Amino acid sequence: MGLYPAIVDQARWRNVLKQQKIANAQRWLNILETCPDPVSLVHEDYDNFLRALETTLQAVETFDVAYRLGQILYPVIFGYADWDRWLVYLRQTLHSGRLLKKQNEEARLLEQIGDLLYHKGNLEDAEKSYQNASEIYKEVDNRTSYYRTLAMLASLKDIQGDVEEGIHLCQTAVVLAEQSQDELALANANLNLSNIYRRTREWDKALESAHSAYSIYSRLGMSTFLTKASITLIAIWAESGEWGKIDQLSRELMLVLNSSGDVHNLSQLKNNLGILAFSQGNYNMAEAAWQEALQLHSQIQEPTELAGIYNNLGMVYTQLEEWETAEDMLLKAVTAYRRFGDIFNWANSLDNLADLYEARGETAEFQHTLQEAIAGLQALKETPHAVELLNYMNQRLTSAAASPTN
């Protein structure tokens, strides 16, 4: 009986401590909501902000604070690639939002869960999450967000090989955003459309869409999105041969990303600078840039982009005649692309692997690898870039079969 008051006191003090933590989280929220540049502030004290968020996730009654704080913190996580921890946060917030029947918030959380699943390479679950978000946005007539999820579904369709549907969805999002004069939705749709056109090597269309997104983000003062648009522009210039435009923008970005600790975007920038060096025949410089990108990605573990770096390193090691390393990298790329269903890039990596076998004089492996790639690529819908690659591989296979050395 004598312990009873002590137990009561402990419970009371735990409750007092909990209320103090919630009050602290509310204080952080107030600071962020009134700060002219909340992103910079979050970068300076990321872990403390996360602890504040975790406090608010423990009860349904603090949903409003948890949701608002999470939305301010969310854009920053792409620099840290903190996918798994944030999937837990978002799902906890989603659970409370559903109990409270907060439909707009539920849809936004589903969309963000889709983003993280996409970056983790779980494309099937990402598509389901985006689709669920899209249906809720349409039901509650949240047009801006509905257009945004259309653009993300378009990116998934592109990766899964349905390029026509991807372009159609993105163009629909662009038209709807223009009609409703929603500049942010328009910029997001244009940036996604630019990346699809980049994959199909339609450089003029890719540049037009990327420039449109860049201009809007710049006008709106959205630094995080402006960085993404800048990196897309550098990628297009590197791949299309417009090299003279890259130097100044890449230097500016490098300073910003190094100072902010944005590992994700820094890795993308290094990858694009590697593409530039490789295109110019500077293989040692390309290898150094891609190795830096790979080291940065070891902190991120984003499989869709990691596969691209493996593929690029495989190509440069083939040029440097480092055969075993080249084969290891290309096989990793092939495995990764196959796992998350990017058939075009899977076939492209197999084509690069065939280059390696051809350079080593391994005719049987060369032919088998091309035949595997051709069979997989034929299953895709006919698009110009897929047809171009398919024709190229068929020509290579025919030439090899006709060669006197075979």
Instruction: Give residue-wise pLDDT tens across range 217-228.
Output: 999 998 889 999
Tell me the mean pLDDT in the region 20-48: 82
Give yes or no for residue 302 having a pLDDT over 90.
Answer: no
Kindly indicate the confidence band of residue 16, based on its pLDDT and cuts at 50, 70 and 90.
low
In this predicted structure, what is the pLDDT of residue 18?
67
In this predicted structure, what is the pLDDT of residue 361?
93
User: Does domain 160-221 bear CATH number 1.10.287?
Assistant: no
Q: Greatest CA span in the chain, whole angstroms?
A: 99
In this predicted structure, what is the pLDDT of residue 324?
97
In this predicted structure, what is the pLDDT of residue 406?
47
Nearest alpha carbon to residue 263 among 132, 107, 66, 82: 82
Residue 100 backbone dihedrals phi, psi, to 5 degrees? -90, 0
Give the tens place of pLDDT for each residue, 233-252.
999 999 998 998 899 999 99
Give yes or no for residue 373 having a pLDDT over 90.
Answer: yes
Nearest alpha carbon to residue 105 among 73, 54, 66, 78: 66
Give yes or no for residue 116 having a pLDDT over 60.
Answer: yes
Give the tens place of pLDDT for each residue, 176-218.
999 989 999 899 999 999 999 998 889 999 999 999 999 999 9
Entry pTM: 0.78
Q: Round the average pLDDT of the chain to a whole number and report it.
A: 89
Q: Which fold is adopted by the domain 39-141?
A: 1.25.40
By three-state DSSP, how is residue 331 classified? Answer: helix
Same fold, 39-141 and 160-221: yes
Q: Which residue has the higher pLDDT, 67 or 58?
A: 67
**What distance in Å separates the CA atoms of residue 302 and residue 81, rounded to the nearest whole number?**
8
Boundaries of every domain in the chain: 39-141, 160-221
Give yes or no for residue 67 having a pLDDT over 80.
Answer: yes
**What distance in Å separates the CA atoms of residue 120 and residue 286, rounded to the nearest whole number?**
26
Residue 164's Cβ-side half-sphere holds a number of Cα atoms within 13 Å equal to 6
**What distance in Å separates the CA atoms of residue 273 and residue 289, rounded to the nearest whole number?**
7
In this predicted structure, what is the pLDDT of residue 14?
64
Sequence-separated (6 or more) residues with CB below 8 Å from residue 253: 227, 230, 231, 234, 265, 269
Give the tens place of pLDDT for each residue, 317-334.
999 999 999 999 999 999
Which residues in 263-277 are b (16+ Cβ under 10 Å) and which e?
bbbbbbbbbbbbbbb
